Amino acid sequence: MTYIAAFDLGTSALKGILLDRQGHRASEQSIEIETKYGPNGEVEQQPEQWWQALQTILSIWQDTTPERVEAIRAITFSGQMEDVIPLDASGTTSTAILYSDTRADKEAQYIQSKKPFLSNITGNSIRSSTPLAKLLWMNKHQPAQYQYAKAFVFSAKDYLIYKLTNKAVTDPVTAATSGLMDLHERRWSEELLSDFSIDASKIPRLLEPEQEAGKITDKVSQWTGFSVDTPVLCGSGDAGAATLGAGALHEGDLYLYLGTTGWAAAPTKKSANKIDGVFTLSHLPEGTNISIAPLLNAGNVYQWAVHTWGDQSESPYEYFEKLAAASQAGANGVLFLPYLHGERFPVMDPEASGAFVGLNPAVQKSDFARAVVEGLCFSCCQVIESLSEKQEGMITIIGGGTRSRVWTQTLATILNRPIRVPNESEYSTVLGAASTAFIGMGWVEDYAEFTEKYIDPQGAEVFTPAQENQETYRSQYGRYLKLYPSLQGTYNN
């Protein structure tokens, strides 16, 4: 029996699984990751904590199933994108600037003014989250760290690959978020590197997801037990892996991801999307892109609500589920705008904030819980309506948010569409990442064969809309759409 090891490094946790050639999963592990927030839009993580999490998972596997570790024939990854991670000469770094960090707003405006047609090259406009803007910010505000950096990588998984192989690489899905890749050619744009004085020698080598990044170094081999001949593949940015893991391979295959943050996405043959705020990324299969509408507020807001209203004496998540279910559809007239972290789509406003509207003496604790769930669903509905002209048919949802049955059922009713939740969908992204190793090992010919053999046959639960609540939600959704425009003038801009 031989295995591949696949890891997904998201915002909240590093997940790792082993898969055999038949696609059977084994040895699932998850290690939580901490995030630090600053007063000026800073959102950071410590890359060494990612490395420690990987070491922890590997140690657990060594202690519990050493025979499986010895049978690992390839390692691959997916990870959060739009990060800026400087690597010093020793291959370490103190801080990673995350995708949701908004400190580089002025730099983004400068880039857009200097290169107003940049999206013709990259397929995307520039915003404060774009790594190019963050690189300019770092060069201005942290010049010593910028100059001392041996290289920069733009996905959390690229840091782990560097630690394993001593190779700085990235993939086209990740690179498409950087503001520096020519989306049409799937290569770095020499024009943009020159225009913004970015040293090309500090930019990671661009590889396809199924290509080998390098082999395990001698040092890593000694403490892991991996052979120095073990290939480490480039893998994919999380949006690409999640898209494949959701079975969205062909144009029009819409799905929704609900993690700490979230997105709605669909494969496309177009090289750019005309909707402001919607990204166009490379997909894993060459010749296909992904239209993706990001949500800064998803599981992070649900978690905030759980900690705010959950009963800490018992399971807070179970208590919150019961609390939200105790309120009727419409939450007793209470509406919730879920923009606790600003928002990137369908509005682009880093200063936006959350709000409850419609409070009256009859409102109870359960109504607040219900309103939070409904507000998150209304936000998803608005995104899906913006992204896709087709507003019928089943939609697949993956990610940790699917563990909330109240959230999933409410979303099905508000969308008025059946929702398909694959079994253990929180592992869909890492399963999508595993596809790169299956191709690299020659176990399947291409991504279509992987999807047919290992994604489509998965069992799933289907949630159907509750028709008796349609009128209530149509009315509430109409009110919800008025919230942000009405409150926009109150934000501290």
Does any domain span residue 433?
Answer: no
User: CB count, 10 Å around CB of 92?
Assistant: 14
Rounded Cα distance between 58 and 52, Å, is 10
CATH of the domain at 471: 3.30.420.40
Does any domain span residue 282?
Answer: yes
Same domain, residue pair 375 and 268: yes
Same domain, residue pair 272 and 316: yes
Same domain, residue pair 225 and 256: no
Same domain, residue pair 254 and 138: no
Does any domain span residue 336?
Answer: yes
pLDDT of residue 5: 96
The burial class, CB within 10 Å (0-12 / 13-18 / 19+), for 137 is: buried
Rounded Cα distance between 426 and 15, Å, is 9
> DSSP state, 407?
H
Does any domain span residue 444?
Answer: no
In order of 162, 172, 492, the CA distances from 180 in angstroms are 20, 11, 32
Radius of gyration over every alpha carbon of the chain, rounded to an integer in angstroms: 22
Strands (E), 50-122: 72-79, 85-87, 96-97
Pick out the chain residues at pLDDT < 50: none
pLDDT of residue 493: 55
The answer to whether 371 and 323 have CB atoms below 8 angstroms apart is no
Same domain, residue pair 281 and 187: no
Same domain, residue pair 350 and 225: no
Domain limits for position 328 = 249-422+459-493
Does any domain span residue 439?
Answer: no
Rounded Cα distance between 12 and 385, Å, is 28
Does any domain span residue 481?
Answer: yes
Same domain, residue pair 229 and 253: no
Does any domain span residue 178?
Answer: yes
Task: Tell me how many domains the chain contains.
Answer: 2
pLDDT of residue 391: 67
Same domain, residue pair 214 and 341: no
**Half-sphere exposure of residue 124: CA atoms within 13 angstroms, side-chain side:** 32
Same domain, residue pair 129 and 274: no
What are φ and ψ of residue 200, in 5° steps?
A: -60, -25
Same domain, residue pair 228 and 275: no
